[in-house]
DNA sequence: CGAAAAAAATGACTTTTATCAGTTTTGAGG
DNA sequence: CCTCAAAACTGATAAAAGTCATTTTTTTCG
């Protein structure tokens, strides 16, 4: 598949406000802008592969990308799902290690690539930017600690409920008193997020549906009763 | 319990070489040194609590400390075990959030406390130090991603084997062709590391023992057959 | 539009692991 | 050295979740 480039100026990027680049001085932003390459990806294309060396930073301008690890049997575990404004692959870049995960496009995406050198230059010149990146990384790490504990001690039902609420927070679109999770996830992907088998997710989703907690809307899920879902997630009873 | 202080000079600290402070210029190291408070803790004492705000950085000079989260039912999940030279509580400090975990002494410990201001001052003045901290945080995050995937898709037996090998790498003491894990962990703590029930750990450990993979030495575990243990962990067969 | 492939769903069955209840062993402190 | 409590261990049982096989539905694309 040929790479389809597109063009955009960082200062005019509609997602700048959601990005770590927000607040960067014009000079540094233009340095980023002048060195970046912007590419359009189709669903299913890979951005980077586990085991390869990062050569720069990806910055999401559109679409959704899953970042996941494959285990020996080929089972996926999705670490996170990147949306416009998010950085992609910065962990391995900053620790100067190989990628430990693979990134694949879930919904057609526009992604800008900033070469390692330009990113590091701006990072080193700009302590405030560095501080914000560090804060973001450490915040991210806190989320992972949370996930670890959740994975260790919660049931699949609880984890599914918790993850639906999390997806609702991040990708939710409000509408007629409920929230649509604006993310076309397959049951298999949802299972890879929760850390369980596809069949189990299917069964639990239909339970949640018959209990009136959620509804299906095409490939998407609508959260009808977030509070009841939270009860399922929090093990208040069990 | 009264706090027992002790005194040590950073430049003479035997664990400096294992620490992120290693390579710091004398001026900055003396700034750290002049502002630190060093305290001795007994087994069972807490260093900090989940939900409180960090006021500085802890730097381990002796002993072992577990950092863990409690779930609703009071079940622990141990995120990591800190040893001399390690920083403690830097994640929440850097992201300027509350502690998300609690730290409790496993083996009598000597820990130096560096006030937030001094740490940040050195961090901001010293880009190279900042870079090393960022690298360390990002490396740590990679380990967590690994753990997440492991927790999601490996069986308890596999996880126990993997964690024994990990503990061997970090706390191992070589001796007569095998390695002693120099860490007095209760079965309960080991279960909290693996993310399972105490009884399950006990059963699996005695299986590993009867298969000749490990041996018990007082409260400690000796790894006899790391390769066979790795086979158990890696799901090469299953 | 229609055929083929992919995804979702359902059912039966098995395995893993948690839980509970009880016993034995160990270790700390008087 | 003895007592008591905590930790380690054992066994039985139940629940949760994975796996496999099969069907139904949806999607893709020639």
Statement: the CB of A216 is under 7 Å from strand C: yes
> Which residue is the nearest neighbor of D20, CA to C1'?
A199
Average pLDDT score over residue span A6-11: 93
Tell me: pLDDT of B3 over 80: no
Alpha carbon separation from A56 to A92, A131, A195 (Å, rounded): 10, 19, 29
Q: Average model confidence (pLDDT) for chain A?
A: 94
Q: Name the 3-class secondary structure at B120.
A: helix
* DSSP assignments along B10-56, one per residue: GGG-TTGGGSTTTT--HHHHHHHHHH-EEEEE-TT-EEE-TTSPP-E
What's the pLDDT at A2? 55
The C-alpha torsion from B15 through B17 and B23 to B27, rounded to 10°, is: 30
For chain A, give the percent of residues with pLDDT over 90: 90
* DSSP assignments along A158-227, one per residue: HHHHHHHHHHHHHHEEEETTEEEE-----HHHHHHHHTS-HHHHHHHHHHHHHTTSEEEETTEEEES-HH
Average the pLDDT over each of A2-6, B69-73, B92-96, B199-203 and give the range with the smallest value: A2-6
Q: Average model confidence (pLDDT) for chain B?
A: 94
Instruction: Sort out which chain B residues have CB atoms less than 8 A from A154's CB and list them.
Output: 71
Average pLDDT score over residue span A42-46: 92
What's the pLDDT at B203? 97
Residue A141 to residue B91, Cβ atoms within 8 A: yes
Angstrom distance (rounded) from CA B220 to CA B184: 5
Task: Tell me the helices (H) and strands (E) count for chain A, helix number first.
Answer: 8, 11
Question: B237: pLDDT confidence band, cut at 50, 70 and 90?
Answer: very low
Spanning CA of A191 to C1' of D25, the rounded length in angstroms is 20
- Interface test mutation site (partner A, options B145, B151, B155, B230, max chain A beta carbons within 10 A): B145
Residue A7 C-alpha, separation from nearest chain B C-alpha, in angstroms:
31
Q: Name the 3-class secondary structure at A57.
A: strand
Spanning CA of A228 to C1' of C8, the rounded length in angstroms is 25
Question: A74: pLDDT confidence band, cut at 50, 70 and 90?
Answer: confident
What's the pLDDT at A237? 43
Average pLDDT score over residue span B198-208: 97
Which neighbouring-strand residues pair with A4? A40
Residue A139 to residue B95, Cβ atoms within 8 A: yes
Tell me: pLDDT of A150 over 90: yes
Closest CA to B190 of B180, B176, B179, B204: B204
Average pLDDT score over residue span B11-33: 95
Any chain A CB within 8 A of the CB of B156? no
Q: Express the helix, strand and coil content of chain B in percent, nearest 5 each.
A: 45, 25, 30
Q: Express the helix, strand and coil content of chain A in percent, nearest 5 each.
A: 45, 25, 30
The beta-carbon neighbor of A91 closest among B91, B101, B141 is B141
Alpha carbon separation from A219 to A20, A35, A55, A157, A213 (Å, rounded): 31, 38, 35, 20, 17
Per-residue pLDDT of A52-63, as tens digits, reads 999 999 999 999
Any chain B CB within 8 A of the CB of A237? no
Angstrom distance (rounded) from CA B181 to CA B192: 17
For chain B, give the percent of residues with pLDDT over 90: 91
Angstrom distance (rounded) from CA B99 to CA B93: 8
Determine the residue of chain B that is closest to A126 in CA distance: B127
Cβ partners under 8 Å of residue A24, min gap 6: A32, A122, A126, A129
∠ CA A13-A17-A20, rounded to 5°: 100
For chain A, give the percent of residues with pLDDT over 70: 97
DSSP B185: -
Any chain B CB within 8 A of the CB of A27? no
Per-residue pLDDT of A153-179, as tens digits, reads 999 999 999 999 999 999 999 988 899
Per-residue pLDDT of A174-231, as tens digits, reads 988 899 999 999 999 999 999 999 999 999 999 999 999 999 999 999 999 999 999 9
Task: Tell me the helices (H) and strands (E) count for chain B, helix number first.
Answer: 8, 11
Cβ partners under 8 Å of residue B15, min gap 6: B60, B61, B84, B85
Ranges assigned E (strand) in B161-223: 172-175, 178-181, 214-217, 220-223
Burial class (CB in 10 A: 0-12, 13-18, 19+), B117: exposed
Angstrom distance (rounded) from CA A16 to CA A24: 10
Q: Name the 3-class secondary structure at B124.
A: helix
Tell me: pLDDT of A238 over 60: no
Per-residue pLDDT of B134-183, as tens digits, reads 999 999 999 999 999 999 999 999 999 999 999 999 999 998 889 999 99
DSSP B123: H
Statement: the CB of B202 is under 7 Å from strand C: no
Any chain B CB within 8 A of the CB of A101? yes
Radius of gyration of chain A (CA): 19
Question: A236: pLDDT confidence band, cut at 50, 70 and 90?
Answer: low
Angstrom distance (rounded) from CA A1 to CA A40: 11
Any chain A CB within 8 A of the CB of B9? no
Angstrom distance (rounded) from CA A231 to CA B92: 28
What's the pLDDT at B176? 82
What's the pLDDT at B238? 41
């Amino acid at each position: 598949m040929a790479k389809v480039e597109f063009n955009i100026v960082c200062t005019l990027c509609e997602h700048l406000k959601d990005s770590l680049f927000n607040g960067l001085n014009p000079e540094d932003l233009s340095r980023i802008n002048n060195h970046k390459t912007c590419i359009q990806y189709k669903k299913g294309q890979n951005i980077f592969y586990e085991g390869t060396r990062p050569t720069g930073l990806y910055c999401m301008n559109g679409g959704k990308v899953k970042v996941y690890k494959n285990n020996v049997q080929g089972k996926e575990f999705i670490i996170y799902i990147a949306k416009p404004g998010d950085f992609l692959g910065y962990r391995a870049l900053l620790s100067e290690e190989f990628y430990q995960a693979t990134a694949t496009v879930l919904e057609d995406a526009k992604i800008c690539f900033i070469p390692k050198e330009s990113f590091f230059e701006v990072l080193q010149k700009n302590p405030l930017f560095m501080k914000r990146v560090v804060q973001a990384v450490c915040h991210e790490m806190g989320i992972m600690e949370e996930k670890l504990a959740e994975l260790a001690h919660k049931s699949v039902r609880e984890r599914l409920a918790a993850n639906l609420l999390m997806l609702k927070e991040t990708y939710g679109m409000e509408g007629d008193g409920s929230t649509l999770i604006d993310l076309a996830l397959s049951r298999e992907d949802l299972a890879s997020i929760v850390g369980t088998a596809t069949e189990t997710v299917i069964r639990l989703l239909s339970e949640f549906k018959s209990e009136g907690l959620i509804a299906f809307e095409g490939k998407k899920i609508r959260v009808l009763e977030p509070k009841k879902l939270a009860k399922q997630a929090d093990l208040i009873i069990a």
